[in-house]
Structure 1
Amino acid sequence: MESMPMSPPAMDGNTSMNNSIGDSPMMTPMTTTNMQMSFYWGKDAVVLFSGWPKESLGLYILAFFFIFLLAFAVEFLSHTPPNKLSKSPIASASIQAVVYAFRTSLVYLVMLAVMSFNVGIFIAAVAGHTLGFFVVKVRALTVAKGTDSNEV
């Protein structure tokens, strides 16, 4: 049995198989920012957009509150019962589908922000989810208690 050659067959004079990966124009390294791959604390974070919050304490605090509000909105939209605004099932389902798409978009934005691995942003997301859940549950329990007291 004959063994197969280990090197590729020779090509015509215009092509060479000996190019390294770095020589290929499609494989050129992109400019990258220093992406953190473990949790860290500090204002030097990249949250959702390249260059934001730009090592600025004020913009970092703004990013913190923005993520908090996004997470709060996710919980609020997740646990709020749908309103019956229309008698038509198609119109009602369409409204619910738009709200669902908006909520899903917010969920993905919060997830991407948490993937910055910044502890402050992580805390903002968890606090927003927690407070949003709390507000919705207090509202639901208040409504349920109000309907229970009307029955007695």
Structure 2
Amino acid sequence: MSHDGNGGMPNMTPGSMSSGGMNSSSSDMMMMHMSFYWGKDAIILFSGWPEKSLVMYILALFFIFLLGLAVEVLSVSPQLVTGSTARSNLMLAVFVQTCVYALRMGFAYLLMLSVMSYNLGIFIVAVAGHAAGFFLVKARALAVANRADHPMSSTTGGNNTKV
């Protein structure tokens, strides 16, 4: 029984985890950051990705940006049309909305796990992706609202004179 205060665990600095057992060498040590850091040497979602390569890191940043954008774009779901639609059409619409929701939640969890790498670049592009997606969604909603407010201007070319 060890009385070194670590419960028999090897001495590790805060924020590091050993990938091996008690007899692991320093080359087998894997560093897990527990605070934000800069750098391309991050592990995002899968071990070995982006492989300490600047090009792969930039590709990972682009992927994370697209995930954030997709989460926001998929958050807009069209209203289900109730009324005279057949029950099978209504069930199909509910099923499609459920699939879109599941996809959105999957993307959101992948994004959360990516941010948990504590890489500041990943965090920034995730927030930027959410912001860009929110902007696209709200810009589209504003365009639809403006089109609904002024239906005659788009069909007559702006000439609203009454005869």
TM-score in same-fold range (> 0.5): yes
- More relative contact order, 1 or 2 (CA 8 Å, 6+ apart): 1
Q: Which amino acid aligns with 2:61?
A: F
Match of 2:103 in 1: 102
Q: Which amino acid aligns with 1:103?
A: R
Per-residue deviation at 1:79? 2.3
Larger CA Rg, structure 1 vs 2: 1
- Gaps (5+ residues) in structure 2? 2-6, 9-17, 21-28, 153-159
Match of 1:115 in 2: 116
Match of 1:61 in 2: 58
Match of 2:14 in 1: none
**Aligned-partner Cα distance in 2 for 1:97–1:133:** 21
Superposed, which structure 2 residues align to 1:61-100 within 5 Å?
A: 61-82=58-79, 87=86, 88-100=89-101
Aligned residues: 128
The alignment yields a C-alpha RMSD, in angstroms, of 2.3
Match of 2:30 in 1: 33
Change (3 A) 1:30 1:133: same
- Gaps (5+ residues) in structure 1? 1-17, 23-28
Give structure 1 regions of 4+ aligned residues with deviation exceeding 6 angstroms: none
Q: Secondary structure in 1 aligned to 2:70?
A: helix
Q: Percent identity?
A: 54
Match of 1:5 in 2: none
TM-score, normalization: structure 2? Answer: 0.71
Q: Secondary structure in 2 aligned to 1:68?
A: helix
Per-residue deviation at 1:80? 4.2
**Aligned-partner Cα distance in 1 for 2:80–2:49:** 37
